[in-house]
């Protein structure tokens, strides 16, 4: 076989001579390097070659771009190249995880599935696919081990965020379009009045204009499953839908709402943060751009002692203080007899002050951390009152076994209340704040706690890229290689590269095993991998036999 070298586009012509004639594509040795003839003139052929000191580097004119193990340099179809995981189903890398966090420290996260946003703007989901929650067209109850691509229609802009409330998923695209996929719980959750096995755009339904630029979406949910949804547009206007018990949506009535409705006062008062409680005694909490808190809903949830069907200003800590976050929790089915609907509320100010109200009673006392163990609702002389300074974030679980975790400004974590399953560090119940976790819980920048009754699971992410899981652990969600029922916060998640974020799927409740502890944690690493650990049901950790994982393993995109 005769091979025409020139047909490959380049022809080696040896040492350059200014006295010879060359044609475009000829390669010569000149000035100590390789040059190519373009438009009749020699030009550097491998500019940046001096920087290629590591295997796998790309020569890009003086700036080297490295891939990672199992990646291959590949054309991206847009006059450029990119590294891809050719061995892992030719996927692109993940850049964000689906958000399952809410204002309430709910035992429910997602219905045993997780999704990731990829660097090409697509969404890929794995785990349980039922009621259309993954947006792939499937409505049957299957477990998906390998991620499937969420089926947005052609021309959809890049997806920039994904949020779910159990089996209803919401997506935001780069142009401010809001999309829903899922079962449309009670005919209220989707915002468009229908279940959607593939994503359906919400803009244009109800009072949400078709040209609205939606910036964020928020969900409310607690044990009793009353879902509320809100979205915030670029002008600070808030639109709400879902269950409206006690007038929690702030629309002036108590009727449920199936399509987006504008919260009236936000037309003139721009909002920057929204917190929704869901649950039986629901409320919505809106923080305006001046840091003031507006509340609507049930009497004690709002702090006014009577139901509020429109939003009302609540600033008992002083009008000059700015609100950062509201959190809440409602007891679950283990504590529903008689008056035992234990509830807990908290506000964190931008200056780090933590204020609390609600219940501090039941089998275990001390959820406020001040030594006071009564119940404080509207009208009490101490309502609401400051319990701690220097707080960045906090989560509380109520019920007869209340407990609170607080992330402090110095990067440590404090606990008060019930210590079941070592959620408080394993040193017993307490009624005053104590720092837990020793050297493990330092440099913490993100904290989450989930649970109900007396079961809890917590995860902390440190600024150095390490993570610490503790609490319930028999199905491996602590990610430290152990299957202990009670995990103390003293060991790291076993991932050998920096972690940049985490999210959770499944749910956690009263006891270990069975239907009460079925949660998994999912970690996004600095190189774009997703690694999952914990309960393996429905393939939510990527195991084809739905086995539990006790240390994180990669999801293969």
Weakest-pLDDT range from 337-341, 454-458, 513-517: 337-341
Q: What is the mean pLDDT of residues 303-323?
A: 95
**373 pLDDT above the threshold of 90:** no
Chain length of the chain: 557
119 and 250, same domain (yes or no)? yes
| Mean pLDDT score, 142-159 | 96
pLDDT mean over 157-169: 96
Q: How would residue 17 be classed by pLDDT, with cut points 50, 70 and 90?
A: confident
The reply to whether 47 and 104 lie within a common domain is no
Q: Indicate if the pLDDT at residue 201 is higher than 60.
A: yes
Q: What is the mean pLDDT of the chain?
A: 88
Q: Would you say residue 342 lies in a domain? A: no
The CATH number linked to 215 is: 2.130.10.30
Quick check: 273 and 332 in contact, CB under 8 A?
no
Percent of the chain at pLDDT above 90? Answer: 66
**164, 409, 465, 470 from 461: Cα distances, Å:** 21, 14, 7, 12
| Bridge-based pairing state of the strands 403-408 and 94-97 | unpaired
Residues 117 and 219 in one domain: yes
Residue 178 in any domain: the answer is: yes
Question: Do β-strands 11-15 and 26-30 pair in parallel, antiparallel, or remain unpaired?
Answer: parallel
- Inside any domain, residue 325: no
Same domain as 268, residue 199: yes
Q: Could you tell me if 182 and 245 lie in one domain?
A: yes
- Listed residues 253, 278, 303: the one ending a domain: 278
Asked if residues 479 and 491 have their Cβ atoms less than 8 Å apart, the reply is no
For residues 258 and 164, state if they share a domain: yes
In a domain, 210, yes or no: yes
Contact 347, 302 (CB under 8 A): no
Residue 412: inside a domain, yes or no?
A: no
pLDDT digits (tens, 9 = 90+) for 101-129: 998 877 889 999 999 999 889 999 999 99
Residue 87, pLDDT above cutoff 50? no
For residues 518 and 507, give the distance between their C-alpha atoms in angstroms, rounded to a whole number.
5
Least confident of 194-203, 359-368, 500-509, 520-529: 359-368
Residue 219 belongs to some domain of the structure: yes
- pLDDT confidence of 531, banded at 50, 70, 90? very high
**Is 400 domain-assigned?**
no
In the listed set 51, 71, 86, which residue is the last one of a domain according to the structure? 51
Mean pLDDT of 353-366: 85
Q: Look at residue 35 and tell me if it is in a domain.
A: yes
| Structural domain ending residue among the three candidates 248, 278, 308 | 278
> Rounded to whole angstroms, how far apart are CA atoms 488 and 44?
60
Single out the residue of 235, 236, 273, 228 nearest to residue 254, CA to CA: 228
For 328-366, what is the HEC assignment? EEECCHHHCCCCCCCEEEEEEECCCCEEEEECCCCCECC
Residues 266, 157, single domain; the answer is yes
Range of the domain at 2: 1-51
Helix or strand (DSSP H, E) at 300: helix 299-302
Contact 246, 194 (CB under 8 A): no
What total number of domains does the chain contain?
A: 2
The pLDDT tens digits of the residues spanning 63-74 come to: 444 555 556 666
For 548, half-sphere exposure in the C-beta direction (CA atoms, 13 angstrom radius) is: 21
For residues 261 and 507, give the distance between their C-alpha atoms in angstroms, rounded to a whole number: 30
Residues 124 and 189 in one domain: yes
My answer on whether 43 and 177 are in the same domain is no
- Do 124 and 270 belong together in one domain? yes
Please check whether residues 12 and 153 belong to one and the same domain: no
179 plus 266 within the same structural domain? yes
């Amino acid at each position: 076989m005769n091979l025409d070298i020139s047909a490959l586009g380049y022809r080696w012509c040896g040492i350059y001579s200014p006295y010879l004639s060359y044609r475009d594509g000829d390669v010569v040795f000149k000035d100590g390097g390789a040059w190519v003839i373009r438009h009749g003139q020699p030009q550097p052929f491998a500019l940046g070659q001096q920087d290629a000191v590591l295997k796998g580097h790309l020569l890009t004119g003086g700036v080297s771009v490295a891939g990672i193990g199992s990646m291959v340099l590949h054309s991206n179809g847009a006059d450029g190249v990119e590294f891809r995981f050719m061995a892992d189903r030719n996927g692109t890398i993940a850049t964000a995880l689906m958000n399952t966090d809410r204002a309430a420290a709910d035992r429910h996260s997602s219905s045993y599935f997780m999704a990731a946003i990829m660097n090409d703007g697509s969404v890929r989901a794995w785990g349980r696919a039922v009621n259309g929650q993954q947006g792939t067209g499937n409505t049957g109850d299957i477990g998906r081990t390998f991620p499937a691509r969420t089926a947005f229609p052609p021309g959809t802009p890049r997806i920039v965020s994904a949020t779910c409330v159990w089996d209803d998923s919401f997506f935001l695209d780069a142009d401010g379009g809001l999309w829903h996929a899922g079962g449309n719980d009670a005919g209220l959750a989707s915002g468009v009045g229908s279940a959607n096995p593939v994503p359906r755009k919400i803009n244009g339904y109800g009072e949400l204009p078709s040209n609205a630029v939606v910036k964020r979406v928020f969900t409310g949910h607690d044990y009793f499953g009353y879902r509320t949804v809100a979205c915030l547009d670029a002008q600070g206007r808030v639109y709400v839908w879902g269950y409206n018990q006690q007038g929690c949506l702030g629309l002036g009535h108590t009727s449920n709402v199936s399509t987006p409705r504008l919260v009236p006062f936000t037309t003139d008062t721009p909002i920057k943060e929204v917190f929704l409680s869901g649950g039986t005694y629901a409320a919505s909490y809106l923080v305006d751009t001046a840091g003031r808190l507006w509340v609507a809903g049930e009497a004690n949830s709002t702090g006014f002692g009577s139901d509020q069907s429109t939003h009302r200003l609540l600033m008992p800590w002083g009008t000059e203080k700015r609100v950062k976050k509201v959190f809440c929790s409602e007891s679950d089915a283990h504590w529903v007899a008689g008056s035992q609907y234990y509830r807990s509320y908290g506000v964190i100010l931008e200056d780090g002050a933590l204020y609390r109200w609600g219940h501090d009673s039941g089998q275990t006392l001390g959820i406020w951390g001040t030594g006071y163990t009564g119940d404080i609702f509207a009208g009490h002389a101490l309502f609401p009152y400051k319990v701690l300074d220097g707080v960045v974030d906090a989560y509380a679980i109520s019920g007869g076994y209340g407990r609170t975790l607080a992330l402090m400004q110095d990067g440590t974590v404090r606990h008060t209340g019930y210590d079941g399953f070592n959620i408080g560090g394993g040193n017993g119940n307490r009624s005053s704040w104590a720092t837990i976790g020793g050297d493990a819980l330092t440099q913490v920048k993100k904290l989450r706690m989930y649970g109900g009754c007396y079961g809890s699971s917590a995860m902390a992410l440190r600024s150095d890229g390490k993570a610490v899981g503790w609490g319930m652990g028999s199905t491996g969600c602590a990610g430290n290689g152990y299957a202990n029922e009670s995990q103390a916060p003293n060991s790291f998640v076993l991932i050998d590269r920096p972690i940049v974020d985490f999210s959770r799927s499944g749910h956690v409740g009263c006891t270990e095993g069975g239907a009460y502890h079925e949660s998994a944690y999912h970690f996004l690493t600095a190189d774009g991998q997703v690694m999952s650990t914990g309960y393996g049901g429905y393939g939510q950790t990527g195991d084809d036999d739905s086995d539990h994982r006790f240390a994180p393993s990669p999801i293969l995109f």
